[in-house]
């Protein structure tokens, strides 16, 4: 697990994107349509999430489809449980 995952999770826009993808795969356009910022800004957030391996992307024609990378979330969860699991 890299620090980039935690840095990516620190941003509220990226957390909102992850919440959206938690409900199912979406195209970049569908994701961008939920925000009042420029498409380029949303694309920047998606690139950070992709570089942190929190999401995976696949091109289908002119669209890029994004989905959560469950294995990285499991790794983050295991780390947090180890870190905080024994505390009361």
Look up the domain containing 24 and give its range.
3-84
Question: Which of the four pLDDT bands, split at 50, 70 and 90, describes residue 19?
Answer: very high
Residue 44 CA from chain centroid, whole number: 12
Cα–Cα distance between 25 and 37 in angstroms, integer? 21
Domain count, the chain: 1
Q: Is residue 88's pLDDT more than 60?
A: no
pLDDT reported for residue 80: 84
CATH code, domain with 39 = 1.10.10.10
Angstrom distance (rounded) from CA 77 to CA 45: 22
Question: Of the ranges 3-12, 25-34, 41-50, which one carries the lowest mean pLDDT score?
Answer: 3-12
Q: Is the distance from CB of 68 to CB of 8 less than 8 angstroms? A: no
Percent of the chain with pLDDT over 90: 72
């Amino acid at each position: 697990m890299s620090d980039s995952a935690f840095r990516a999770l620190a941003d509220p826009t990226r957390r909102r994107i992850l919440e959206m993808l938690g409900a199912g795969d979406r195209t970049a356009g569908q994701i961008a349509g939920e925000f009042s910022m420029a498409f380029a800004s949303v694309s920047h957030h998606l690139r950070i999430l992709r570089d942190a391996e929190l999401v995976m992307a696949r091109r289908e024609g002119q669209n890029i489809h994004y989905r959560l990378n469950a294995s990285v979330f499991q790794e983050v969860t295991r780390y947090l449980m180890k870190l905080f699991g024994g505390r009361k």
